[in-house]
Amino acid sequence: MKAMREDLHVLTGSYALDAISDTEREEFERHLQHCPACEAEVRGMRETAARLALACAVTPPVRMEQQVLAATYRTRQLPPLPADRPRRAMPRLVPRVPRRLAMLAVAASVAAAVALGITQLTAQHQLDQARATAIARVVTASDAHVETARTSAGGSVTVVASVALREAVVSTSGMASLPSSRVYQVWVMSPSGARSAGLMHGSSLLASAVRPGDRIGITVEPADGTARPTTTPVAVLPV
C-alpha cells in the first residue's frame, strides 16, 4: 500500500504536464483528494508549467479575437459551484528557498516588470512606436545580456545590454519616489568620465553608444538634470 502511494506521488510532475493517460489521471485525482502535500506540489508545478507556456507566447492572428469575442455572445456561462461544498483546508507549503536564489528572484521579477512595463506603456500609447521598437530590439538581441542590482534608494535596477547594437535598456522598479525638485539621472560611465543617458521619467530608458566595459550608473540630481554626476550613485552596473 505504501509502495503504491509513493508511486502515485511521483506522478505529480507527469500529472502537472498532462503526460499521463486518462485512467491514471482519474486515479491520481482521487489520490489528490486525500493528499494535501501532493495537491500543494501539483499547484507549484502548474505555476511552473505556466511559465513554460509564457515563454512561448505568440500573438495569434487578429481575426481570432473577433471570432472569440463574437462567440462569447452566443455562449452561456457556467454558474459558480455551490458554496455549501467547503473547500478542504490546504496547508500552504512554504517553499524552502536558498538565500543565494534571492537575486535570481529579483532578476526574474524585474525582467518581468520590464516586459510588463513595456506592454502597458505600449497599450496606453505613452511610448511612441519607434522607442518601443528600439527597446524591443535590444531586449530581443541575440547577445542581450541582463544585469540586475539593488539600489541604495530601494528597489532595483535592471540593465539589458546588447554589445552588437551598442545600446542598453535601463529599467527601475520599486525605487523611492523623489520630491519634484529631484530626478533620477542615468549615466554611461567609462574610464574617461560619465555621460548622461537621460532622466528617468518612466520606468525604463534607452541608452545608446554603449561600449563593452562601460558601466551604467544612476544618481539623484536636480529636476532638470546635470552635466556631470553630483551625488554618489544609488546603483552602478556593468554593461
Partner 1 sequence: MRQLQSESPPPPDLAGLLGQVARGDHRAFELAYAELSGPVYGVVRQVLRDPAQSEEVAQEVLLEIWRTASRYDRARGSAAAWALTIAHRRAVDRVRSENACSRREQKAAEPEPAEDDVAETVAATLEHQRVRRCMDGLTGLQRESIKLAYYNGYSYPEVAKLLGVALGTVKTRIRDGLIRMRDCMEVTW
**Per-position x/- string for 62-81, each x denoting binding to partner 1 as judged by CB under 8 A, each - no binding:** --xx-xxx-xxx-xxxxxxx
Q: Is 172 in the site for partner 1 (CB under 8 A)?
A: yes
**Residue 232 to residues 183, 184, 187, 199, 204: CA-CA distances in angstroms?**
14, 12, 12, 16, 21
Q: Which of 149, 203, 210, 234 is close enough to bind partner 1 by CB under 8 A?
A: 203
Q: Is 192 in the site for partner 1 (CB under 8 A)?
A: no
* Measured distance CA(122)–CA(79) in Å, rounded: 36
Closest approach, Cβ 35 to partner 1, in A, equals 14
**For residue 155, what is the DSSP state?**
S
Footprint (CB under 8 A) of partner 1, residues 108-127: 108-124
Determine the longest span between alpha carbons in the chain, in angstroms. 74
* Measured distance CA(197)–CA(176) in Å, rounded: 20
Footprint (CB under 8 A) of partner 1, residues 92-111: 95, 97-98, 101, 104-105, 108-111
Footprint (CB under 8 A) of partner 1, residues 24-53: 40-41, 43-53
Closest approach, Cβ 78 to partner 1, in A, equals 5
Closest approach, Cβ 51 to partner 1, in A, equals 6
In the sheet that holds 235-238, the strands lie side by side as: 193-199, 182-190, 215-222, 235-238
* Measured distance CA(131)–CA(151) in Å, rounded: 25
Closest approach, Cβ 163 to partner 1, in A, equals 16
Closest approach, Cβ 124 to partner 1, in A, equals 8
